[in-house]
Chains A and B, each alone.
Chain A
Amino acid sequence: MQQEYSGEHMNPTQKSRRGALAALLVFAGLLSSCAGGAPNKSWAGMAVQGATAFLAHNTFISAVNLDTGQMAWQYPAEKGDATVLYYSDPLIDSNGDLVAAGYDGTVVKLAADSGTAIWTMEGDGNPIIAPIAEGPDGAYYASSEDGGLLVIDSAAGTLLRRVDLGKASSWGTMAVNGDRLYIGTIEHKVLAYNFETGAIDWSVDLGASIAGGVNLVDGMVVVGTFAKQVVALDPQNGETLWEAETDGWVWQAPVESDDALFAADLGGVLRSLTLSDGLPLWHIELEAPIQAGPAVQDGTVFAGDSQGTVYAYSAEAGTPAWQRKLEGGVFGTLRLAGGKLLAVVNGGKYQLAALHPGNGSIIWTYTEPS
């Protein structure tokens, strides 16, 4: 960019160019203010224990009383100490403690009743996006975005070892069954890690990302993939038992109830499949993409779409029961606890909503402190 000035006053050329330069500087300022290292936007991770829901969002982990919708505690307590970003669902381990993974690879263990830190394991800079799993050996297992499975001492908070998953990382829930950890990865693979041998027993490539993790259902490993499929695998060897086609990318793993599987996809379709062979039972086209995993209870299946509508349908026939519009999109996984349907909300005034499962009325909403 060349600037020419001729004389003491500004001529039309100078005026025009200064105006353009001002616009460029404003743009550069905007770009600069938008720039940064780690991105900081995603929906909250959620875990539930007893009468408390735990949210991991941005730089805080919050405990929310399910009866009142009020915050019970927040970690860290001081805003100045809030430097780690949290997105994934926290783990409630077998002792009732809460374990959360941060975007820089930090892992923190908290006392669930008070939010007091028990230990913090510093991160290596590689994000941990998937929820941490607890193995039968009592250790924690975390999938790091650099393709490593971190095995963490649950008592000391130290790294025991790192298992190379071969450039595969999980963004969703890992499932534990007996002596194996089943991992669905964003790099198209489902792996079975053997706790006893510390090796990968099998790995299958499904050709598309598995973003929402793995579910163990009736002796099968069930996943949803971006190839618009629900796939059931043999947990022993990874062989495909059946595949079912969907209308859109399937994010969360399907859930099971009464010999049926319920899956939702980004095409906005909620469907029911037979558990044994994935044949379609019914399907309903909703109004917007569905990223959140459905929930099932007492013959009712619940789903929430990215525009914020929560739906309830009869699990057997897919007949509508109710629907409710929330402020913001519904993401993550719907959960039923304490007599309430809990929905993580993103992009609106509140981050968590509790609805009455029977009629969808909003009991309370929770807004995290700014």
Chain B
Amino acid sequence: MWDTVIINPLINALLFLYQLFGGSFGLAIIVFTVIIRLATYPLTASSQKSMRKMQELQSSKEWKDLQRKYAKDKEKLQAEQMKLLQSAGANPLGGCLPILIQLPILFGLYQSIGNVIPSTPLQLFSLSQRIYGFFPVSLIPLQKNFLWMNLAQPEHLVVPGIPFPIPVLAILVFLTSWVSQRIVPVMTTDAQSGQTSLIMNIFMVIFITQISLTLPSGLSIYFIVTNLISILQYVLMGRVDWKRVWTFSNAPPANPKSAK
């Protein structure tokens, strides 16, 4: 079921784009990423709107009044907070929906890249069973090189004079992930929760970077393009605070209204 619904269509979509872009698998992945982000934009925009409402609500007097009123009854507090969120049209899962939606795509893309650029006879056999019949067989084997990269392998750039290879894509994944997470202001009400949030941000960036070091470089390209699109979206929405990129703090602002 997973293969029929997710993997095979992804493989053939990549093949279609590969063919469209003159045999460049790197371009095919980039364009594929843009298409996926465009397709999921309505959901992303809706969840960002919901997230903004939640941020505003959590700084509001009504929220604080609930906390004071039900300080000793956590269950009641949670129930009342949920009612308040729902009445304001905010979805608690709002901020996570874009990530959750992308999870099957990410995993499917990882498997697809491995299948589209087979490195072993068994992978080639697997590909033969997944390609839709209308593709010309002359497409196989795909050209797996893009710029200096072998898209089926983790990327490292060897620079003459430097004794170790440089993981350029992993560095770009790190930078773009960090920027995309930091440029949007977070409205927290206390320093401790802000700090916790920062730690989780850092952990996720490091984790994604670490797996980029070991994944096929085609998937790292997907991460980078996704992050760049996110940054562009935030810029176009006018919701960025570039100063936060250079800080390591999620402390609540002195005047919450000063954050964009």
With an 8 A cutoff between CB atoms, is A173 at the interface? no
Is A309 interfacial (CB 8 A cutoff)?
no
Partner of A249, one of B63, B137, B204: B137
Take A13-B85, A35-B214, A87-B121 as given contacts and tell me if A2 and B141 are in contact as well, using a CB distance cutoff of 8 Å.
Answer: no
Report the Cα distance A20→B215, complex, angstroms. 23
Q: Which A residues, 201 to 253, have Cβ-Cβ distances below 8 Å to chain B?
A: 207-209, 211, 226-228, 249, 251
Task: Give chain A residues whose Cβ lies under 8 Å from the Cβ of B92.
Answer: 12-13, 15-17
Given contacts A13-B85, A27-B103, A208-B138, contact A43 B211 (CB under 8 A): no
User: Which of A3, A188, A209 contacts B186, CB < 8 Å?
Assistant: A3
A346 close to B85 (CB less than 8 A): no
22 A-B pairs with C-beta separation under 8 A:
A1-B201, A4-B58, A6-B188, A6-B193, A9-B74, A9-B77, A11-B77, A11-B81, A12-B78, A13-B54, A15-B78, A27-B107, A28-B208, A37-B153, A39-B119, A39-B120, A41-B122, A42-B120, A211-B124, A227-B137, A289-B125, A306-B125
Nearest A residue to B86, CB-CB:
A12
Contact A16 B93 (CB under 8 A): yes
Asked if A7 and B138 sit within 8 Å, CB to CB, the answer is no
User: Which residue on A lies nearest to B182, using beta carbons?
Assistant: A2
| Residue contact A41 to B190, C-beta cutoff 8 Å | no
**A-contact bits for B91-108, CB 8 A (1 contact / 0 none):** 011011001100100110
Interface residues on A, range: 35 or more
Specify which chain A residues have a CB less than 8 angstroms from the CB of B137 in the assembled complex: 207-209, 226-228, 249
- Ranked nearest first, the 5 interchain pairs of A and B with the lowest CB-CB distance are A5-B193, A20-B96, A3-B197, A35-B214, A42-B122
As a 0/1 sequence over residues 23 to 50 of chain A, the CB contacts with chain B under 8 angstroms (1 = contact) are 1110110111011111101110000000
A119 CA to B81 CA, complexed, in Å: 72
Q: Give every chain B residue within 8 A of A211 (Cβ-Cβ).
A: 121, 124
8 A Cβ contacts from B21-53 to A: 51
Per the bound structure, the CA–CA distance linking A198 and B45 in Å amounts to 63
A7/B67 in contact, CB under 8 A: yes
Query: A27-B106, A31-B110, A32-B214 are known contacts. Are A16 and B188 too (CB-CB below 8 A)?
Result: no
For residue B128, which residues in chain A have a CB less than 8 angstroms away from its CB?
226, 249, 266, 289
With a cutoff of 8 Å between Cβ atoms, the chain A residues found around residue B187 in the complex are 4
Most buried by B among A4, A43, A129, A208: A4
B19 sits at the interface (CB 8 A): no
**Chain B nearest CB, measured from A282 CB (Å):** 25
Give the contacting residue for B120; candidates A20, A23, A27, A129; CB below 8 A: A129
Q: In the docked arrangement, what's the CA distance between A242 and B107, Å?
A: 45
Does A32 contact B197, Cβ atoms closer than 8 Å? no
B189 an interface residue at 8 Å Cβ cutoff?
yes
Residues of B within 8 A of A38 (CB): 119
Quick one: closest A residue to B111, CB to CB?
A34
Does A363 belong to the interface (CB within 8 Å)? Answer: no
With known contacts A16-B92, A291-B125, A2–B138 Cβ distance under 8 A:
no
B207 at interface, CB cutoff 8 A:
yes
Residue of B nearest to A10 (CB): B78
B205 closest partner in A (C-beta): A1
Q: Which residue from A1, A31, A346 sits with its C-beta under 8 Å from B211? A: A31
| A343 CB → nearest B CB, Å | 16
How far is the CB of A100 from the nearest CB of chain B, in Å?
Answer: 15
A348 to B: closest C-beta gap in Å: 14
Contact between B121 and A43, CB atoms less than 8 A apart = yes
Q: Which residues of B contact A37 (CB under 8 A)?
A: 153-154, 214
What residues of A have a CB within 8 angstroms of the CB of B197 in the complex?
A: 2-5
**A15→B204 CA distance, assembly (Å):** 18
Contacts of B176 on A, CB cut-off 8 Å?
none
Whether B119 pairs with A127 at a CB distance below 8 angstroms is yes
Assess the A3–B200 pair: CB atoms within 8 A: yes
Q: Are B181 and A1 in contact (CB under 8 A)?
A: yes
- In this assembly, does A256 line the interface, its C-beta being within 8 Å of a C-beta of chain B? no
B218 within 8 A of A: no
Q: Is the CB of A129 within 8 A of B121?
A: yes
Q: Does B235 contact A (CB under 8 A)?
A: no
CA distance A346 to B100 in the complex (A): 35
Contacts of B207 in A (CB 8 A): 25, 28, 32
Contact with B along A103-118 (1 / 0, CB 8 A): 1000000000000000
CB-defined contacts of B74 to chain A, threshold 8 Å: 9
Q: Is A187 an interface residue (CB 8 A)?
A: yes
- Name the residue of chain B whose CB is nearest to the CB of A129: B121
With contacts A17-B95, A35-B214, A209-B137 known, what are 9 further pairs, Cβ within 8 A? A1-B95, A1-B201, A1-B204, A3-B186, A4-B197, A6-B193, A13-B58, A28-B211, A37-B214
Q: Are A4 and B77 in contact (CB under 8 A)?
A: no
